[in-house]
Chain A
């Protein structure tokens, strides 16, 4: 879920706060609520980008500005394709921001943009000031790990993975989301997912620091324990990291086995590269590769047995009724 969509929730809250505040000085929350009102009427991408950028420039220390910058990253970056512009813009807002908490959020967006344009970014400059104010949350450690991996800042990757370990539990997950309606099973699952995700980053960091044995141990556990989607794709990159290590250790069959689910069912380009390399190391030819991929795809394919749902007129629907057809089964909810 894009960070930008999270704004929908605070919007309602802030509009309420805005409506209840006393007259006189405008709070930062009021300012954002006002902005949101105008923003929701905008239609074109260009208009949205302009409004978002203006808000960030005028209110660089507002607690919502990091999300606003994330919105710019999406609209200017992905929709308009102007990645350089995103980097320049995010950097400029970071220069204006003084509050360590706000700087952290904006800094993460700037770091992501830096990666995309091939620039460096000093993550310490946004981490240390925040650590002086308070301990980082799980989410913040995660943001550091994610961006540190892309920036190849391996010390930071392992440091923050190790600091995140105590947060990677079901109890902590529940504590982080006290108002959400999760079942005990869901909480246990989320806790386990945190654990394997953190172990995955830690392992990859260690490997790149030259600690091959410890790394392989951590990644083997994570890959074995990780949850997988219905179609077999692991929910983190642990198995793909192991695949890269296997490839380097010239174990091409293992590399293919580990990377294939990501490459085939998740459109993962990195994994596809690993599979391709392992395949050619194993003696495969370029022309044979497409065929190889296709048969791997068929081999991994799962069926759906007896899926049923309800038509809007109350009649039962059975997926089996569409035997012999090619079916696009899509899951959605009305936003």
Chain B
């Protein structure tokens, strides 16, 4: 889903123990930091690493973007979303609520 829309989502549920981590896959630092600034994103945004246990593609085999995993408090991936379609935001919010 679109990154700016994650900001209000995070702000709404963070007190209940919800975190957002956005991993920028291509290490395009300049573009990414500019985007983050322009959109006032304050949740956790990080850059994909280079070592074996960091590279998103080889770890997760992620080939489609955006891809997201919703992880519960026990560290299990309970929901996955690939791509972004209309109506996904409501789905994701419901899923988050069900795990909090």
Contacts and interface: CB of A to CB of B under 8 A. Distances in A.
A331 B23 CA distance: 5
Given A326-B70, A326-B100, A333 B24 contact: yes
Contacts of B56: 331
Given A312-B45, A317-B44, A322-B21, A332 B65 contact: yes
Contact of B68 (A78, A331, A334): A331
16 contacts: A231-B77, A231-B80, A266-B82, A267-B81, A302-B76, A303-B75, A312-B36, A319-B21, A322-B19, A328-B69, A328-B96, A330-B1, A330-B22, A331-B56, A331-B67, A334-B24
Interface string B56-100: 100111101111111111111111111001100001100010011
Contacts of A180: none
B60 A230 contact: yes
Nearest to A227: B61
Contacts of B64: 1
Nearest to B59: A307
What band does the interface of chain A fall in when counting residues whose beta carbon is under 8 Å from B?
Answer: 35 or more
Interface of B: 1, 3, 6, 9-10, 13, 16-26, 28-29, 31-36, 44-49, 51, 53-54, 56, 59-62, 64-82, 85-86, 91-92, 96, 99-100
A282 to B, nearest CB: 24
A331 B75 contact: no
B17 A325 contact: yes
Interface string A106-139: 0000000000000000000000000000000000
